[in-house]
Amino acid sequence: MTSESKLDVVNGHGREESELSYLNGEAASGESVNAAYTVLDDTLKQGNGSISNTMTNAERRTFTDRFSRWKRSPDRDIFSLLVDGNEKRLHGSGRQSGPLLSGTAYCISSCSMILLNKIVLSSYNFNAGISLMFYQNLISTVVVVALVLCRAVSVEKLNWKLIRVWLPVNVIFTGMLVSGMYSLKYINIAMVTILKNMTNILTAIGELYIFRKHQNQKVWTAMFLMIISAVSGGITDLSFDAVGYAWQIMNCVLTASYSLTLRRVMDEAKKSTKSGSLNEVSMVLLNNLLSLPFAIFLIILLGEWEYVINVEVTKLPMFWVVATASGLLGLAISFTSMWFLNQTSPTTYSLVGSLNKIPISIAGLVLFKAPLCLPNCFSILFGLFAGVFFARAKLS
């Protein structure tokens, strides 16, 4: 899967402390609080000293407040009140490092996926993009199934009704991956990144006519800037390839269609499940698993299977290492994007996704030594700026 096919779902996290009362509905009196406090104090004197010495005034007030709202149950005792504060401090430090780790993992997997695909298709001169997509999706399917069997993740049970509902969006998904593969083969990474901005424009237009969602003036200004950067980038591109640009335009149309169609299909798909919901892992499995028959059909129809069998590059062990790594990274993008969304917010996620195009573009230009000129460099930088401006405008 490419980094453009990430699923934008936000699951709320964090705890909410509920108001608890005593059994029989009685409020805790001051005497009962003080009595319990005295018992606990006597207990601590036998161990590490008085509670008066181990707790500050603020902590004593916190303890008294918590105890007044505490509800007795068989699996809890009074000492869990003291431990709870330490646990929250530990969880708080974990939440502080979570966004950094998840964001870093998402950026690394996203950048690496695009670079490895470029290596397989261009450096190894592999002319079977559909076969590469099939192999990557097969790896993703096998890994998800293995995780399900190990009970590491849970997915909805597939049924024919759910599959029939999901098929239209999966056809678009497969076309999106195939067109993305071929565009990456013929165009340098920086220009692919800039041209992908056109997807935002098509999606915004689709939202306007399908969902009647109007954008603010800043968004339309950003889209105008992206059009200018795409046109100027194509004109000044020294490695311009009409076939590659045609594939990329098709990819933009299919990516926007996938995004718009997915919103409606998800609601229908939830009605076709027993639980009435469809989690992110289930959608990842559906997309990858259902794309395999389509890929096999296209491989046979276009005669790619003969090419894959006879081409010399498939006999190189390193080729399979890189291809396998790209497949694993495709799945990693799905999971790290979900992890990052759970740790942060859609605002941070969108901005990081836009800023992530900058290192991808620079790495692509440096590693693959794409021919450049000053006007083309300016167009690329202008397009990157327009992408970031678009993300900010959408969130304003």
CB within 8 A of 386, min separation 6: which ones?
Answer: 197, 222, 225, 226, 228, 229
368 vs 188: CA distance, rounded Å: 8
138 vs 124: CA distance, rounded Å: 21
Q: How far is CA 393 from CA 197, 354, 380, in A?
A: 14, 12, 20
Counting DSSP H helices and E strands in the chain, the numbers are 16, 0
More confident residue, 268 or 56: 268
Check: CB of residue 130 under 8 Å from CB of residue 298: yes
pLDDT interval class at 171 (50, 70, 90): very high
pLDDT computed for residue 222 by the predictor = 81
196 vs 249: CA distance, rounded Å: 8
Q: Which of 38-47, 174-183, 220-229 has the lowest mean pLDDT?
A: 38-47
344 vs 352: CA distance, rounded Å: 11
Q: What average pLDDT does the chain have?
A: 74
More confident residue, 133 or 37: 133
Going by C-alpha positions, the residue among 60, 278, 68, 94 that lies closest to residue 169 is 278
pLDDT computed for residue 50 by the predictor = 45
Q: Both tokens of residue 112?
A: 């690496």
Q: Which of 75-79, 177-181, 185-189 has the lowest mean pLDDT?
A: 75-79
179, pLDDT greater than 60? yes
17 vs 2: CA distance, rounded Å: 40
Q: Which residues of 135-150 are buried (b: 16+ CB within 10 A; e: fewer)?
A: bbbbbbbebbeebeee
Check: CB of residue 344 under 8 Å from CB of residue 11: no
Check: CB of residue 225 under 8 Å from CB of residue 382: yes
332, pLDDT greater than 60? yes
Give the model confidence (pLDDT) of 55-79 as tens digits.
555 555 555 555 455 444 444 444 3
Average pLDDT over residues 26-37: 43
296, pLDDT greater than 90? yes
Going by C-alpha positions, the residue among 118, 183, 222, 170 that lies closest to residue 5 is 170
193 vs 134: CA distance, rounded Å: 23
Average pLDDT over residues 186-203: 84
Q: Both tokens of residue 83?
A: 């431990």
Burial class from Cβ neighbours inside 10 Å (0-12, 13-18, 19+) for residue 253 reads middle
220 vs 267: CA distance, rounded Å: 29
Average pLDDT over residues 148-159: 87
